[in-house]
Chain A
Amino acid sequence: MSDFSRNGSISDVQIYGLMAEFDSAQELVAAAHKTHEAGYQKIDAYSPFPIEGLAEAIGFHKNRVPLVVLLGGLVGGISAYALQYWVAVITYPTNIGGRPYHSWPSFIIVTFELTILFGGLSSAIGMIALNGLPMPYHPVFNVPEFAKASENKFFLVVESSDPKYDAGGTRSFLSGLAPRMIAEVPS
């Protein structure tokens, strides 16, 4: 049973990868570390809450959310100030109580608010987009046990597209991590 290749014995079913289930966050982090150290790169870990150090354990460091927020905030702030300057000085200059057209202290508040607005929206939209969401279908949901990933179980998946992946070897490697169970993830 455990001996088949990607286009081999289990005829039509394409395999997305192998999934191992764990009981605790501690076990998942340890297993993720070992899997990553063993040279697997296309791995992912799933948990019902954020776990400190888990992303590092699977070798994920590239987080562009802060950059997106910085750019969003800058765009918001600069465009807000530019709009106010253009309105108050160029296109619709009005004398309000003898104040200068370019009365910059009055423009700070709208600049500040739009910086926050654009920064906040880019934070949420950037996070969702970089995560590749909305994604209505994902192979991991094919494993019935995975429903507990949003409750109390912890999962580690090695994708079949990993260069080091081979059905038998990876399965026996994962068994060595003492998971509760191992399942094939149909793609």
Chain B
Amino acid sequence: MATNTQIPVADRRVPVIAPGHTFSTITEKISNIVLTRPISLGWILGFLIVFGMLNMLAGVLGYLFLKGVGIWGINIPVGWGFAIINFVWWIGIGHAGTLISAILALLRQTWRNSINRFAEAMTLFAVACAGTFPLAHMGRPWLAYWMFPYPNTMRYWPNFRSPLVWDVFAVSTYFTISLVFWFVGLIPDFATMRDRAESVWVQRIYGLLAMGWRGSARHWHRYETAYLLLAGLATPLVLSVHTVVSFDFAVGIVPGWHTTIFPPYFVAGAIYSGFAMVLCLAIPIRAIYGLQDFITIRHIENAAKVMLATGLIVAYGYAMEAFMGWYSGNQFDSFLLWNRLHGPYRFWYAALLACNIFIPQVLWLKKFRVSTGWLWLISFIVLVGMWLERFIIIVVSLSRDFLTSSWGMYYPTKWDWMTFLGTIGLFLTGMWLFVRILPMISIFEMRTLLPESQVHESAEVEQ
């Protein structure tokens, strides 16, 4: 590197916002994607595809409710199948959004300002996809409200000692708080959109959402307090959600589930897959909408580093599972290890190790962290790997538990696959609409990245 030794190390890094921007250019660039940019043919074609997938989900769920869960591949040793695999996968993906918006806000990582908005949107759509599966898996989804404690004529109450009840509270709280956090973050930007909209109706809609926000200093003061407190509340929340999801497994006595490493390892895996999804979305969006000035290579590289770090925690989790399989001396635990390596699902397990552990190690090299093409591919592989992880945890453990007489193989049916693809359609339809309806980067937080936004007490410029 041809260095100028005068420049301090910190300043040699790629900035979080490209030089030359002003408050106006930031505002214009982000809001014009929604307000003035014409809808392209590519957007319409893409939308037709993802909306088609969403409609497939509606059709598949309709057929499911008509026929029952027997159309799926689940059976009696493997009662959880795709529904829970996909539930855990989707909810894990959501975690990166809250991590970026809450934890990185508390840590004052300014690079989050340009990716938090769409990562939060991603969280909401991912949790919506996740929520679909337990509902569909219930068999009688129209009775879903029975999960909540409410006075009823059956004089019946939920069992609060059950992890499945904890999950209801964790996931519904998570969705609500993510939605509130997202909306609060949007209020000042709705005001910007209102003030810039050309057409009366667009102005009215954003105006309604902005609720009369006018940027008063008193309002900003309360706003910042509320935002900080929300971040402080969302931080333990996001760590708790996947912990509670892991309790669904860890509280059970099934071999491979009943371990104390599950909560941290699930949380790390969630963030791992979440950042992979952030990169899978950010890389194309950044290129299509020309946002390289705001989502710089520094953001991309930071996200890759988070992926590498959380991937290593996941690797540690796998290593500990294998170690405990041997060290515990428990025959069922050591059989589980043998069964993963040599049993009928061994190829899936090998694919899991390749996708989650071996291939992502190339992220140690800067070349792969700063090449968007490679990074997109690696992120996609990680997403596949994290899906396989949930498949292995659920299917391998359930298909061969304690009694050989109750063993049974699990094969997903075409309905399983179509439901899974359908939720990808739901997720992408949400993202497709989001980028055209709402400012996908937080405009006011980007403004605060400019040096002009900082006020220095000592330097009184007034005469």
User: Which of B36-44, B224-232, B422-430 makes up part of the contact surface?
Assistant: B224-232
CB-defined interface of B210-250 with A at 8 Å, one 1/0 digit per residue? 01111111111111111001100110110010001001000
Cβ-defined partner of A120 (8 Å) among B165, B191, B234, B457: B234
Tell me whether B373 is interfacial, beta carbon within 8 Å: no
Tell me whether B153 is interfacial, beta carbon within 8 Å: no
Q: A94-123: which residues lie under 8 A (CB-CB) from chain B?
A: 94, 96, 99, 103, 106-107, 109-110, 112-114, 116-117, 119-121, 123
Minimum Cβ distance to chain B for residue A162 (Å):
15
Q: A121-172: which residues lie under 8 A (CB-CB) from chain B?
A: 121, 123-124, 126-128, 130-131, 133-138, 140-141, 146-152
- Secondary structure of the B side of the interface? helix
Tell me whether A88 is interfacial, beta carbon within 8 Å: yes
Tell me whether B212 and A135 are in contact (CB under 8 A): yes
Q: A53-79: which residues lie under 8 A (CB-CB) from chain B?
A: 53-55, 57-58, 60, 63, 65-66, 69, 73
Cβ-defined partner of A116 (8 Å) among B184, B225, B237: B237
User: Which of B21-29, B387-395, B397-405 makes up part of the contact surface?
Assistant: B21-29
Tell me whether B145 is interfacial, beta carbon within 8 Å: no
Cβ-defined partner of B212 (8 Å) among A34, A123, A137: A137
Tell me whether B166 is interfacial, beta carbon within 8 Å: yes
Give B209's nearest chain A residue, CB to CB.
A134
Tell me whether A127 and B223 are in contact (CB under 8 A): yes
Tell me whether B177 is interfacial, beta carbon within 8 Å: yes
Tell me whether B161 and A99 are in contact (CB under 8 A): yes
Interface size range on A against B: 35 or more
User: Which of B118-126, B319-327, B358-366, B444-452 makes up part of the contact surface?
Assistant: B444-452
Tell me whether A31 is interfacial, beta carbon within 8 Å: yes
Cβ-defined partner of B160 (8 Å) among A34, A84, A91: A84
In the assembly, what is the distance between CA of A24 and CA of B451, in Å?
Answer: 11
CB neighbours of B463 from chain A (8 A): 178
CB neighbours of B165 from chain A (8 A): 110
CB neighbours of B166 from chain A (8 A): 109-110, 113
CB neighbours of A103 from chain B (8 A): 161
Tell me whether A138 and B214 are in contact (CB under 8 A): yes
Tell me whether B11 is interfacial, beta carbon within 8 Å: no
Given A52-B455, A87-B157, A110-B165, A121 and B180 touching (CB < 8 A)? yes
Cβ-defined partner of B455 (8 Å) among A26, A34, A69, A114: A26
Cβ-defined partner of B225 (8 Å) among A47, A52, A57, A63: A63
User: Which of B83-91, B168-176, B265-273, B278-286 makes up part of the contact surface?
Assistant: B168-176
CB neighbours of B207 from chain A (8 A): 136
Tell me whether A54 and B447 are in contact (CB under 8 A): no
Given contacts A50-B444, A54-B221, A135-B212, 14 further A-B pairs with CB under 8 A are A48-B215, A52-B454, A53-B457, A55-B220, A73-B233, A91-B157, A116-B236, A127-B225, A131-B219, A137-B212, A146-B214, A150-B215, A151-B195, A178-B463
**Residues of chain A having any CB pair with chain B under 8 Å:** 24-27, 29-32, 34, 44-55, 57-58, 60, 63, 65-66, 69, 73, 83-84, 87-88, 91-92, 94, 96, 99, 103, 106-107, 109-110, 112-114, 116-117, 119-121, 123-124, 126-128, 130-131, 133-138, 140-141, 146-152, 177-178
**CB-defined A-B contacts under 8 Å, sample of 24:** A25-B453, A26-B459, A44-B217, A47-B220, A48-B192, A49-B188, A50-B220, A51-B455, A87-B157, A87-B160, A106-B160, A109-B166, A113-B169, A113-B170, A116-B173, A117-B173, A123-B230, A123-B233, A134-B212, A135-B211, A136-B212, A146-B214, A150-B194, A152-B22
